[in-house]
Amino acid sequence: MISNTLLLAVFFALAGIFLSNSNNSDEKRVLKGWKRQLNGPAIQYDKVAVGLNANLDLIVYGTQLLKKLNVAPGPGKDHAVLDSLAELQDAFALSHSSCSAAERIMTSPTLYKQIVDSAASLEEKKYFVGGNAALMSQAMVESSPGSQVMLVGAVGETLRSLLNSTVSVPESCLQKDDEVHLILEYSRGEKWGDNVASCANRFIFSHDVANGELQPADNFASALSSFSPQLVVVAGLHLMDNTEESFWLPRVKKVLSAISTLPASTPVHLELASIGNLDFLARLGSACFSSVQSIGLNEQELMAISKANKGPFHNEELVSGPPEAAVVADVLYWILKHYSGKLSRVHFHSLTFHVVAEVAGRWNNSFSAVGAAARVAGRRACQVEEIDPEKVQLKFPKAFVRSILDPKLRREPIVVDPNSPVSTWQRDGINFYLSPVLVCRRPLKTVGLGDAISATGLLYSHYIPK
């Protein structure tokens, strides 16, 4: 329990920080603080290889599509996969009510095509580059124009026309038709039955053969060999969570075999996405996490990993919105200690704050990486080059505890100073870097935020091999 003396100390510290200048908002001070605190990228990655999922995103308003399909609102309920319109309603309603992003697979190709056709008939719709790998490729060429970026993924004609022209795609990955993913977006305050969304977010589902079978893995080794990248990003493994281990494990081993041939100086980052099958997640982690240097994830994936492996807080249900920073830090610490091997960095991102946890001495510039990634979240959500402080909101608490499980860290909370927004601490050989996010009040785009965040964090980071 925090003592009264400590609470008073926190109160007066907060008073000094937040009341010293009534004409200068916290949001303005965070923006100035980032400019003052953050350095540029540690190095320039001349060649970056990204794989393995790429698709065409069809973005619509979720409530409009469900009404078009004559689906009535109902209570939320999770499903590992979707077999019917009723289960689609359940999963969407759960995402809508908890304001949490999720991604699921629909098993029926016939039903999925009918839904895609209905979505395409809506007046309000947009087509965008989709797939974690393709989106991270886009983000990297935009953030680092001097880098050569190669995308190893199933790229159809429409997707190729939407990709940045500087993103190279191996000839063996090009195909005529695109894989289409449906993105059901909802706005803050939007109603679905009795539910009112507390923030803007999205629910994603698909029936994707090329990515679901990880077909681009067949070309991954040869592509890496001919390209000789300095940084490799792997994404899309989550799309196999509806398959048997006898199918997905050989595909994953093919990817791991390809990256095992890379020089020791070349870091590999694994970007995770929503997985409903916890047994698949546990086995995927056992197969992959110790073979990569870095992982990127959000609160859904973070707590799912802990639940799947009986880690910290695995018996607790995830509440609406981002978890406490102390809970996040404890799970990140556990991940880096639990998975021995090459893993030395985890980048966590949520709506209100980001954390990079790293094994001490294995990465440079993580302080700036987490701040730059948090800053790009606001820029991307508001679709602006520079953040307008009037259009964003600092929602992170003014003080936070660094751990629930470590007694010393639990007793010593950190007071967030908007003038120096990035906080840092250590725990048993693990360095932590936390930055609040300036949350866009009226976000114009939520799809791909996590991919842009992780891409930015990587470009600012420098791996130090043993």
Output phi, psi for 206, to 5 deg.
Answer: -160, 165
Residue 312 CB-density burial (10 A; 0-12 exposed, 13-18 middle, 19+ buried)? buried
Assigned token pair, 318 = 């995830």
- Which residues are catalytically annotated? 451
Angle at 267 between CA 222 and CA 244, to 5 degrees: 65
Nearest to 271 by CA among 167, 211, 339, 347: 347
Alpha carbons 128 and 130: distance in angstroms, whole number = 6
Asked if residue 404 lies in contact with residue 320, where contact means CB atoms within 8 angstroms, the answer is no
Nearest to 305 by CA among 329, 327, 281: 281
**SS percent in the chain: helix, strand, coil, step 5:** 40, 25, 35
